[in-house]
Structure 1
Amino acid sequence: MENSLMPTGTFFVRACPTCGRNLEVRVELMAREVECVHCGASFIASAESSSIFDDQRIEQILARAQQYIEATMHRRSSDSLDTAPSERL
């Protein structure tokens, strides 16, 4: 019997709600928990990206950005307090 090059399953493309990269998800996995091969995040496979997931992702990114800003500002203020006035010039 000859090997067939036909695909064994049907896929749909879905963006990972965490990293945003596109994934090919087998139709058989619809409504099941899957894992992103890029970032390892788990999510429920669905044909469409839910706006709830998109909103959560945006909120996560904004929270991380705010943490970075606060840490940077705190580091700068503590560095300036440690420096003697003559060294600040």
Structure 2
Amino acid sequence: MLTIVANIVAFPDKAELVKTELLKLIDTTRAEAGCVQYDLHQDNDNPAHFLFFENWESRALWQDHMGNQHLKDYLAATEGAVAEFTVNEMTRIG
């Protein structure tokens, strides 16, 4: 099992655009092979900060997800709107 923690920080004036585009990813991704959990969160104090908490059956299946068209569409739609993006690949240890 692979856990992904993805932080997306939009420019403040682009937060609603980024949120709208992130929400579009959820149903398609949850239907993908290997997706166990795919939850989007928004920071209570900074509405421009979003976090995906994901669990995948394997790194290979997550890598398949990363190459899918809906992620390419998201990147095109949010070009210039995201100030910071980090991804951590993690393993549950407890």
TM-score range, shorter-chain basis? under 0.3
Higher relative contact order (CA 8 A, sep 6+): 2
Q: Which has the higher helix share?
A: 1
Task: Please identify the structure whose Cα radius of gyration is greater.
Answer: 1
Q: Which has the higher strand share?
A: 2
